Chain A
Amino acid sequence: MSKREIIHLENIIKRFYVGQPNELEILHGINLSVYDGEFTSVVGASGSGKSTLMNIIGALDKPTEGQYTLDDVDVIAAKDEELSTIRNRKIGFVFQTYNLISRTTAIKNVEMPMLYKGMGRRERKERAEYLLEMVGMKERMTHTPDELSGGQKQRVAIARAMACDPAIILADEPTGALDSKTGRTVMDIFHRLNEESKKTIVLITHAPDLAEETGRIITLSDGNIVNVRVKYDADQYEESEPENTGETTGENSGTEEE
């Protein structure tokens, strides 16, 4: 039985400064499918285009060309307002720098996506408490981010990403700012979410050892997928060969700024 396709990227091309002399192509035609319940990592050096890819997957940016369907929703056709809804309902962001709102408490941070979704006060509070308990931060929920350590902040951020029960969790270097021990705790939470809650997770990292923990490793280089390695549960997924559209001409290599 094949699993449902959550992310479907087809021939994604991203160019910057279109029509100008310094026009730049960052992604050269990415084809990628992520299935329900998968824990996928995207690795690549700086400038490989993984940030650009992450922005596109996160519905923060639109590709210049190509098709993108997220949880059966056509992202390409979505207008601004609809993109907000997609980000709100379908995607849970976890950032390297946590990005918690510093003037307000942990629980208010977790409630924020639910606020934009329009959930009621009580429902919000209950769910936020539940999620904070899940990441082991319930007793700190009235603290402001300033009063939390990096690892604690990231746990709150994960709870926030889970707020609206998104189709995918999109984690951009979630352990990048943490020491290895707290980084471990954070990774364990991701594993638990994946295994127990069956969450689809896309982890963007440049740390090979973290990528090794995930079910599938997609290696990006110069705007192309150069390698797809399935680590475990291989038969669970449809085989996804790197469909490199070629044109790794090198003229664009290393041009993406971090």
Chain B
Amino acid sequence: MLLFENIALALAGIKSNKTRSVLTMLGIIIGIAAVIAIMTIGGSMSQGIQEEMSSFGANQIMMYVTEREDEDDFGGPGPGMRFEDSGREMKDDDLITGEMIQGIRDNFGDRIEGIGLKEEIGEAKAKSGSLYANVRVVGLNADILKMEEIEPVAGRAFTKEDYREGRKVAMVTDYFVDNMFSGDKDAALGKQISVLVQDRYYSYTVVGVYEYDDSDFGYSTGKKSDIRTDLYIPIKTAREQNHNNKGFANITVVGDPAGDISTLSDELSDFMEDNYYSRNQYFTVDTWTMSSMVDELTKSMATVSLAVSLIAGISLLVGGIGVMNIMLVSITERTKEIGTRKALGATNGSIRTQFIVESIVLCLVGGIIGMILGCAAGLAGSQAMGYTGHIQPLSLAVSFGFSSVIGIFFGYYPANKAAKMNPIDALRYE
């Protein structure tokens, strides 16, 4: 009964004192907006990654040669962050050989769907007269095409003969065709193209066109025509052109999705160690899965979230103190009103309630503005990072609760002060 009147009164107060109210609420607004934004971005990221994982890659195990570490070292470095500054360089007999790959096939054949092999020649520019396209020349085997679900939209995929004989054939993206053949896929098929990789020309015959998955590079900037896309060639061709007949620094094993990928990952690691690397004192093979990456990412996201939450918490604390300050000012200003209310029959309790409600309303209005700003920033941020924004309902609920708690906590002292005012002194206050 009194509550509605109090809320209406508090809202009227905020409206009649707009500048002051907004300044008071600023701390709360910033704090809540920061929390919501970071939770939205974080949530959208992990949701996006999870979705990507479920579409592909969840059952992929990356195996890579890495330096041995001391037992007490912190977790292994990811494949992208191999230590290059060690005293010993990776030699040919440290690499994963075809024999080892065959060993994996023999021992785990029923539990894996394939082993993907990649050999990169390098970033290159394909040119034809004034036309050009940025590419990355990558050699790969049939298992990779299958696991990454790359299918030709025109022409054909590589044949067994292409792989076996190391033919100079290529699969290009539709972007490549747009740049080099004005989008005419059929015109591209069978054409000889030459690409320049570090002062050396390579030429390939286009046999297939596949669709470029732009979601992988959703955050790339610049003109569409400058986007660098993969030009695939058979793995053997790439190895020959690289004069590489050693082994692989890393391979990708595709596990049977029905099985337990992390167990398989561990077993593969043990298998490699026991059979091939036990006598290699410097190098070993480590395994790494998508889910372990997601775990790592989630962990680092949690750290970032914690840090931002801490800052937001400080902002909320400062905001709360601001609210308390303005409530104290407001109570002093309205001493006479408090006296009058007491003379009209307001109990200490109802005065206290009035000011606590006012403080809560102030914080909640701030909180709601913060939520709106935070959602907007969070969605925009997720978008900018290439993920679909998802508002986290939990974060809204938490913010709502938090704002109320701040309102109560920082409103209590001023409200209590108001409640305890002596009505005579309050009435006489000018």
A binding-site residues for B, Cβ under 8 Å: 55, 58, 60-61, 80-81, 84-85, 87-89, 91, 93, 95, 97, 99-104, 112-113, 115-118, 160, 164
Count of A-B contacts judged by CB separation below 8 Å: 69
A93 and B9 in contact, given A55-B424, A99-B336 (Cβ under 8 angstroms): no
Which parts of B140-156 form the interface with A (CB within 8 Å)? none
**Nearest chain B CB to A133's CB is how many angstroms away?**
21
Is B401 an interface residue, CB under 8 A from the partner?
no
Q: Is the CB of B424 within 8 A of A84?
A: no
**Given contact pairs A103-B16, A104-B12, A116-B350, A84 touches B427 in the complex (Cβ within 8 A):** no
Q: B258 on the interface (CB 8 Å rule)?
A: no
Say whether B342 faces chain A, with CB atoms less than 8 Å apart: yes
Q: Which residues of B contact A115 (CB under 8 A)?
A: 1-2, 5
Q: How far is the CA of A171 from the CA of B427 in the complex (A)?
A: 14
Interface of B is mostly: helix
Cross-chain contact A116 with B340 (CB below 8 angstroms):
no
* List of A residues within 8 angstroms of B348 by Cβ: 80-81, 84
- In the assembled complex, B384 has its CB within 8 A of some CB on chain A: no
Q: Is the CB of B9 within 8 A of A164?
A: no
The answer to whether A93 touches B344 (Cβ under 8 A) is yes
Bound-complex Cα distance A118 to B1 (A): 8
Docked-complex contact B427 and A99, CB < 8 angstroms: yes
Interface residues as binary, B10-21 with A (CB distance below 8 Å gives 1, 0 otherwise): 001100100000
* Docked CA distance A118–B350 (Å): 12
User: Considering the complex of A and B, which 10 residue pairs feature the smallest CB-CB distances, nearest first?
Assistant: A88-B345, A99-B340, A84-B347, A116-B345, A113-B344, A93-B343, A60-B423, A87-B345, A60-B424, A116-B346
Q: Given A95-B427, A103-B12, is A60 in contact with B343 using a C-beta cutoff of 8 Å?
A: yes
B357 to chain A, nearest CB (A): 14
Instruction: Give me the interface of B with A, judged by CB distance under 8 Å.
Output: 1-2, 5, 9, 12-13, 16, 336-337, 339-350, 423-424, 427
Nearest CB on B from A243, distance (A):
26
Q: With A99-B336, A104-B9 as given contacts, are A87 and B342 in contact (CB-CB < 8 Å)? A: yes
- The 15 listed contacts between A and B (C-beta, < 8 Å) are A60-B343, A60-B427, A61-B424, A80-B347, A84-B346, A84-B347, A85-B345, A88-B344, A91-B343, A102-B337, A104-B9, A104-B12, A116-B344, A116-B347, A160-B344
CB contacts (< 8 Å) of B424 on chain A: these are 55, 60-61
CB distance from A47 to the nearest CB of B (A): 15
Name the CB-closest residue of A to B426. Answer: A60
User: How far is A81 from B348 in the complex, measured between Cα atoms in Å?
Assistant: 8
A196 to chain B, nearest CB (A): 24
Having A93-B344, A100-B340, one finds 8 other A-B pairs with CB under 8 Å, namely: A60-B424, A80-B347, A80-B348, A84-B342, A103-B12, A115-B1, A115-B2, A116-B345
Bound state CA distance, A112 and B346, in angstroms? 9
Q: Is the CB of A87 within 8 A of B343?
A: yes
When distances are taken between beta carbons in the complex, the residues of chain A under 8 Å from B337 are 99, 101-102
B344 contacts A87, C-beta separation under 8 Å: yes
> In the complex, which residue of chain B has the Cβ closest to the Cβ of A172?
B427
What CA separation (Å) do A118 and B3 show in the bound complex? Answer: 12
Task: Check A58/B2 contact, CB under 8 A, given A80-B348, A103-B9.
Answer: no
Distance A105 CA – B337 CA, assembled complex (angstroms): 14
Chain A min CB distance to B80 (Å): 63
Contact A113 B336 (CB under 8 A): no
For B4, give the chain A residue with the smallest CB separation: A121
Q: Which residues of B contact A87 (CB under 8 A)?
A: 342-345
Give A150 to B406 CA distance when docked, in angstroms.
41
Q: Which residues of A contact B346 (CB under 8 A)?
A: 84, 88, 116
Q: How far is the CA of A58 from the CA of B344 in the complex (A)?
A: 10
Chain A residues near B345: list those with CB within 8 A.
84-85, 87-89, 113, 116-117, 164
Expressed in whole angstroms, the Cα–Cα distance for A55 and B422 within the complex equals: 12
**Which of A84, A91, A115, A118 is packed against the most chain B CB atoms within 10 Å?**
A84
Chain B residue nearest to A90 in the complex (CB):
B345
A84–B346 alpha-carbon span in the complex (Å): 6
- Supposing A60-B424, A116-B350, A118-B1 touch, asked if A103 and B341 sit within 8 A by C-beta, the answer is no
Query: A60-B424, A60-B427, A116-B350 in contact; A101/B16 too (CB < 8 A)?
Result: no
List the B side residues contacting A88 at CB < 8 Å.
Answer: 344-346
Residues of chain A contacted by B343 (CB below 8 angstroms): 58, 60, 87, 91, 93, 99
Residues of B within 8 A of A61 (CB): 424
CB distance from A40 to the nearest CB of B (A): 20
**Are A81 and B427 also in contact (CB < 8 A) when A99-B340, A104-B9 are?**
no
